[in-house]
Amino acid sequence: MWDTLIIQPFTNVLLAITMVVKNFGVAIILFTLLIKLVTYPLTAKQLKQTAAMQTLQSDPRYKKMMEKYRDNKEKLAEEQMKLYKETGVSPFGSCLPTLIQFPIIIGLYQSIIKAMAATPLEILRLERLVYPFLDATKILPIQNRFLWMDLGQPERLPILGIQIPILAIIVVATTWLQTKVMTPPSTGAGDQAAAMTKSMNLYMPILMGWMAYSLASGLALYFLVSNVATVVQYSGQGRSDWSKILPFIKKKSPAPEPRPVVVFPDDDDEEEEQEAPKPTAKPSARAAVKQQRPQYKRKK
């Protein structure tokens, strides 16, 4: 059932892409991006739920509740559920899309392993998975060379006689970056979820680095592309503060408000204003009549 619904379709899509691009490394990259594109609605829903939870955690009521019941875990959990119900936020809303994507990730992982069949027995098992309309016999066994790597073997790059696992180092760095981008801000020192997340952020890059170091480099390439695609998806939502993730990136300060422009008049303009004759006031009607009357001298 698992092979029919997940492994077989994924393996055939991966082989079809390989037949088109003629390079298994490029096929892994394109296949990983295709899976990310198909599962993007689930990722977007997860991002929406995570953003709603972060907004709730910055609510004064939530902070007051965390401070008030920090020594009473049962009462804190009860009050949290009341607040979740009141605001319409599900604490497990961001977990459901992840659980749905988990079988897809496992299927992608296993399909890459099966496509890299090397022994006659593995190739025979792979041929049984190939759909009849897909003539994959032309590319089997698959050529696993990509850049300096043999995708069927753990990656090492010889530099000055030293075998350096370049790909594993990059996987560790991108996994750490992915966890930092996806981690919501902590709500306080007493938050158990924050403590658990901090531990996961520490151990997950180490685990992924060990797997990239020990397993076939084709899987390490998948880990790398998946990490980069996840970082791009989360950053595209505009919720990542890179100044906090990478200290050497300075946070952009808001643009200063424009100052009012004061125009000072020139000296020539002041002289013209002074020389200009002042308009005489128009005499009133009574004064005009008085001026028109003849003036008689009184006799002494």
More confident residue, 43 or 197: 43
More confident residue, 47 or 164: 164
CA 30, distance to chain mean position in Å, is: 20
Per the prediction, the chain carries an average pLDDT of 74
- Distance from C-alpha of 55 to C-alpha of 30, rounded to nearest angstrom: 35
- Please give the structure tokens belonging to residue 39: 């599962």
Task: Identify the weakest region by mean pLDDT among 127-131, 208-212, 271-275.
Answer: 271-275
Question: pLDDT confidence of 189, banded at 50, 70, 90?
Answer: very low
Question: pLDDT confidence of 211, banded at 50, 70, 90?
Answer: confident
Contact 35, 104 (CB under 8 A): yes
- Reported in sequence order, the residue ranges of the chain that DSSP labels E, i.e. its strands, are 145-146, 149-150, 157-159, 162-164
Asked if the model's pLDDT at residue 237 lies above 70, the reply is no
Asked if the model's pLDDT at residue 91 lies above 80, the reply is no
- Please give the structure tokens belonging to residue 300: 């002494």
The CA-atom distances, in angstroms, between 142 and each of 3, 76, 114, 152, 272 are 21, 57, 11, 10, 91
| Over residues 242-254, mean pLDDT | 56
- This prediction has a pTM of 0.66
Asked if the model's pLDDT at residue 300 lies above 50, the reply is no
Asked if the model's pLDDT at residue 181 lies above 70, the reply is yes
DSSP summary character for residue 136: G
More confident residue, 136 or 22: 22
- Please give the structure tokens belonging to residue 238: 């505009």
Please tell me the predicted confidence (pLDDT) of residue 50.
72
Contact 251, 243 (CB under 8 A): yes
Our CA angle for 254, 256, 259, nearest 5°, is 165
Task: Tell me the domain boundaries of the chain.
Answer: 1-143, 145-188+197-239
What percent of the chain clears pLDDT 70, i.e. is strictly above it?
A: 69
| Over residues 62-81, mean pLDDT | 78
Task: Identify the weakest region by mean pLDDT among 98-102, 124-128, 161-165.
Answer: 98-102
Task: Identify the weakest region by mean pLDDT among 55-64, 129-138, 235-244, 259-268.
Answer: 259-268
pLDDT digits 0-9 by tens, 11-65: 888 888 888 888 888 998 998 898 888 888 877 777 777 777 777 777 788 778 8
Please tell me the predicted confidence (pLDDT) of residue 44.
77
pLDDT digits 0-9 by tens, 81-90: 888 777 777 6
